[in-house]
Amino acid sequence: MLPVDLNHIERLLILKVSSMGDLVHASPVAAALKRAFPHLRIGWIAEDRHAGVLADSPRIDRLHIIPHRVLRERPFGRAAWQTVLRLTRELRAERYQVALDLQGLLKSAIWGVLGGVPIRYGAHRMRELTPLLLRRIPIPDRPDRHVVQQYLDAARWLGAPCEFPDLYATPDDASAPEPPVEFPLYVPDAARQQVACKLAQLGVEDQPLISMNPSAGRPWKRWRIEHFAELSDRIEAEWGVPVVFVGGPGDNPLEEQLARLKRRPLRSLIGRTSLKAAMAVVQRSAVHVCGDTGTAHIAAAFRVPVVSLYGPTSPDRTGPYGQRARALYKRPLCTACPPNRCIRKECLQWITVDEVLTAVGALV
């Protein structure tokens, strides 16, 4: 199968609806296509809980927002049908000619069908009913390769060069070099100013800071909260570098636990910022420390050194891009679980505070 010639296409829709880290990982596809075909109008459809990470991107012309809660809580209710009808009209009004599905699930592929897109390609592990809705792009699935490069294989197949030496220097992680890539994320000045005011209220002015995110989408992806409390206390006591915690509104219980466990005053913006402001905090950081969660990939996209803590999931494929050497990972040491399946989900907790402190110390 030969790809459509994008020189003769005006409008393309990217189908990648979740999650935050996945959206960051897939965003270089929009950059690659836009650079190769500047005339191309690129749309993207994503769920509202994650879409903000792509808002105002210079490489995305139109961002379509799916209110996921409406569709999830009562998928056959009136509000859900009205939402689907509205989004269908919105997509059809754009007259997209090509759809590129980077998720490979029914919840992404269906929007290309509803949007009336005549040419629909599937580029990533097509599952569920997607083979009936998409044309499979003939590129191999290589689990040993970082997912960013797997996504970019679709852009390469469509005719877009995917190296950006003029935008980013070669990553400094010599143990696992990755080709330089453009992540087209954008943080507005207003968000940076808001963060500067909030940090000043916490006693952080212009000095370097270390940001930490103690949360993750799954409980077994979360390093123990008492470890984060001890780590932040030791960083502030031994090095005098302020530590600022970030997270969403749903992470307020973690903030309460940190306040009880920390011996030093807690500096926290958990639940107190918009997503763009949280991105600004990460971008402002000298180092970011977190588990397997979206802010790890935001930090990597902004070229901020990130010390990431991984348990059952492998950082080789989905870790912070270009920073594999800073991902702490002990799953290979486990002898209790099968090699291809983690049962106990305890290996994340084998990472010690001293090990994380050493990794951070090498960067501070």
Structure confidence at residue 172 (pLDDT): 46
| Angle between helical axes of 294-301 and 20-36 (0-180°, round to 10) | 30
Low-confidence ranges of the chain (pLDDT < 70): 124, 163-179, 335, 338-339, 344
Greatest alpha-carbon span in the chain? 63
∠ CA 224-229-232, nearest 5°, is 125
* Residue of 352, 358, 275, 289 whose CA lies nearest to 320: 289
Q: How far apart are CA 45 and CA 58, in angstroms?
A: 16
pTM: 0.92
Structure confidence at residue 139 (pLDDT): 85
Q: How far apart are CA 13 and CA 8, in angstroms?
A: 15
* Residue of 9, 13, 10 whose CA lies nearest to 88: 13
H helices of 44-105, in order, are 48-51, 68-73, 78-94
pLDDT tens digit string along 207-236? 999 999 999 988 889 999 999 999 999 999
The two three-digit tokens of residue 229, written as one number? 């409390």
Structure confidence at residue 71 (pLDDT): 86
Which residue matches tokens 């609806």?
A: 17
Structure confidence at residue 178 (pLDDT): 61
Same CATH fold, 189-361 and 6-157? Answer: yes
Which residue matches tokens 């998720």?
A: 103
8 Å CB contact between 218 and 296: no
The two three-digit tokens of residue 298, written as one number? 């935001």
Classify 6-157 by CATH class. Answer: alpha beta
Q: Thinking of the domain 189-361, which architecture would CATH place it in?
A: 3-Layer(aba) Sandwich (3.40)
Q: How far apart are CA 214 and CA 226, in angstroms?
A: 10
- Structural domain boundaries of the chain? 6-157, 189-361
